[in-house]
Each structure stands twice: as structure tokens, then as C-alpha cells.
Amino acid sequence: MSLNSTAFFHPPYFLLIGIPGLEEEQFWIAFPLCIMYGIALLGNITLLLIIKAEPSLHEPMFFFLAMLAFTDLVLATSTLPKMLSIFWLGSGQIGFASCLTQMFFIHAFSTVESGVLAAMALDRFVAICCPLRHSSLLPAPVVLALLSLVLLRALLLVSPTCFLLRQRRFCQHRRIAHCYCEHMALVKLACGDTRVNVAYGLLVAFLVTGMDLALISASYARILRVVARLPSGQARLKALSTCTSHVCVMLAFYTPAFFTVLAHRFGPGVPAPIHVLLASLYLLVPPALNPLVYGVRTKKLWDRVVVI
């Protein structure tokens, strides 16, 4: 068989092995992951239903929160059912097309989540720095346009990673040392020069986080300057308390995200079990934590939950 005829050879399936080095413990590890998935489903679906049903919540902050809840549902559902089938049933086989589809949803909606967090920082900036003009600066059409741009950015940036992988030959072993189809884990199985794939993956990771963290940093720098000028300590505390939920959610999302990205590319000494576990928790902890943080910290939401 000539090289040309196998130029785009794709294996019929890959084999996800789960957590390398913890194959015997995976059965028990699945239980807390399953509990987190249940919390994520219940919490985020509840948030979406409350925001849809309550007219008083139809304002920018809650539109962004609804998008965050939907994104979390997609992220958790894209990964955990397959993880459980690996851990409990030993069913790690996944078709080539299904693997690329899972990879797309994971990376695209991780990008969406980062964009939504940046948009929420912008909303907090407008609410605190321009409270009287909040509704005029961020009316519903502007909010929907921002969310549409966040989705479009994710589609445009992540789609090429799938296209580039489809052009590669996979002549190495088919075993993926991971719980899900992650971009760099697939790139490592490809034959030949994969520098374009690696470079583009890095570009997207740093472009997304760089843009979003720059907007978040600028928003909070301005917020802190405005809060510092408030006349009373009580007023300063009240203004900062409106940002607490957002800061907690950002820390829960960006901290493991940075570790995952950097460990894959610059940290070959990181033990594989730790890397894969953190990469898995990165997609499960924020979806489970976000509705709890916002449900408890946001009075309007908490009042509706208590009524229910």
C-alpha cells in the first residue's frame, strides 16, 4: 500500500484507558464524579428553569448566568457519561468521528465558558461603575449579541483543530491515556510532523485566555478604583460582595485550566494520574460549583429557590 493511499488514514476507533496508573481504583473514583455530575445537572437545570420562569430575572447578569449554566451542562455531559462507561464497564472504545466530536464540544464550550466569564466581568464593571446607565449600556439585544459573539469565536477558533487532525495519519497505537478525547492527547498519536497542530492549539489556548483575562483584569482594576473612592466602608463592602460569586467561579475555572494546558505542553514530569484527574475535575468541578455559588450568593436567585 503506497504512502499516498494512506495519507489520511484514520483508525476506526480509539481506546480511552481512563486514569493511567489508577486502573484498579477507577471503579471507586467514579462514585464522587457521578455525584458531582448529578449536582451539576440538578443545579444548572434548576437555574435555567428559574431564570426562564421569573420575569424579574430577565436582566443582563442572569442572561449571562443562564448561558454559563447551559455551557456547564454541555461540558459535563460531553465527558462524564463516557468516563463512567470506562470506569464501571471497561468500555473505553470510541469511534474516530465520535472522538473528534467529543473533542470539539469540550474545547469549544471551554472557550465559551471563558468568554462568558469575561462578559460577566464586563457586566459587573458597568453595574458598579455606571449603575444609572447599566440598563441602557447593556440592554437585552446587546447582551444577546455578546453571547452570539462568544459562541461564534469558539466555533471559529476550535473548528480548525478538528480539521487539522482529520488531515493527519494515525499510525501509532490507538490507546489514549486519558478519560476523554483531548486535543493534545490525539496529536501525540498522529504520525509525522505535528508542529502545526501543537502551535495552533497553543495559539488558541493563549489567545482565548489572554483576551479574556485581559478584559477581566481591566474590568476589575476599574471596579477597585471606583470602590476605593466610595465614602463608607459599608458601601465598599456591598459593592465588592456583588463580585464575590464571579471571582469564586473564575478561580474554579481558570486554575485547573492553566494547569492542564501547561502540564500537557511544558510539564512532562507531572505524573500522569494527577494530570488526568485534574483535567477531568476541570470539566466537572465548575459545572457542579457554579450553581451552588450563585444560588447561595445571589439574593434574587436564593429567594426563588426558597420559594420553590
Residue identified by cell 428559574 is 50
Q: Which residues contact 167 (CB under 8 A, 6 or more apart)?
A: 8
Please provide the average confidence, as pLDDT, over all residues in the chain. 83
Check whether 155 has a pLDDT greater than 80: yes
C-alpha 87/C-alpha 124 separation (Å) is: 41
* Per-residue pLDDT at 6: 44
C-alpha 74/C-alpha 68 separation (Å) is: 10
Q: What's the mean pLDDT in 272-286?
A: 82
* Per-residue pLDDT at 302: 57
User: Using alpha carbons only, what angle is made at residue 132 by residues 131 and 138, rounded to the nearest 5 degrees?
Assistant: 75
Q: Could you tell me how far CA 126 lies from the centroid of its own chain?
A: 24
Q: For residue 222, give the 3-state DSSP assignment.
A: helix
Q: What are the strands, taking DSSP E only, across 99-212?
A: 175-176
Q: What letter does residue 167 receive in the DSSP assignment?
A: T
At 304, the pLDDT band (50, 70, 90 cuts) reads: low
Q: By mean pLDDT, which of 5-9, 284-288, 298-302 is the weakest?
A: 5-9
**Order of all β-strands in the sheet with 175-176:** 93-95, 13-16, 175-176
Beta carbons of 90 and 23 less than 8 angstroms apart: no
pLDDT digits (tens, 9 = 90+) for 1-50: 444 444 457 788 889 988 888 878 888 988 999 999 999 999 999 889 88
* Per-residue pLDDT at 2: 43
* Per-residue pLDDT at 1: 40
Q: Which residues contact 281 (CB under 8 A, 6 or more apart)?
A: 256
Q: By mean pLDDT, which of 29-43, 168-182, 198-212, 250-264 is the weakest?
A: 250-264
* Per-residue pLDDT at 248: 80
Q: What's the mean pLDDT in 161-186?
A: 85
Check whether 217 has a pLDDT greater than 80: yes
pLDDT digits (tens, 9 = 90+) for 63-114: 999 999 999 999 999 999 999 999 998 888 899 999 999 999 999 999 999 9
C-alpha 177/C-alpha 302 separation (Å) is: 41
C-alpha 179/C-alpha 78 separation (Å) is: 11
C-alpha 87/C-alpha 85 separation (Å) is: 6
Q: For residue 94, give the 3-state DSSP assignment.
A: strand
CB 87: neighbour CB atoms within 10 A?
24
State the virtual CA torsion across 12, 18, 23, 29 in degrees, nearest 10.
Answer: -140
Beta-bridge partner residues of 95: 13
The class that CATH gives domain 20-306 is: mainly alpha
Please name the amino acid found at residue 155. L
C-alpha 222/C-alpha 124 separation (Å) is: 10
* Per-residue pLDDT at 7: 45
Nearest CA to 18 out of 74, 75, 73, 92 is that of: 92
> Percentage of the chain surpassing pLDDT 90?
29
Check whether 206 has a pLDDT greater than 90: no
Beta carbons of 116 and 150 less than 8 angstroms apart: yes
Please name the amino acid found at residue 103. M
* Per-residue pLDDT at 77: 93
**Crossing angle of helices 233-266/272-282, nearest 10°?**
140
Q: Which residues contact 94 (CB under 8 A, 6 or more apart)?
A: 13, 14, 15, 16, 82, 102, 181
* Per-residue pLDDT at 110: 93
Q: What letter does residue 57 receive in the DSSP assignment?
A: G
Domain boundaries, the chain: 20-306
Beta-bridge partner residues of 175: 15
For residue 247, count CB atoms less than 10 angstroms from its CB and return exposed for 0-12, middle for 13-18, buried for 19 or more: middle
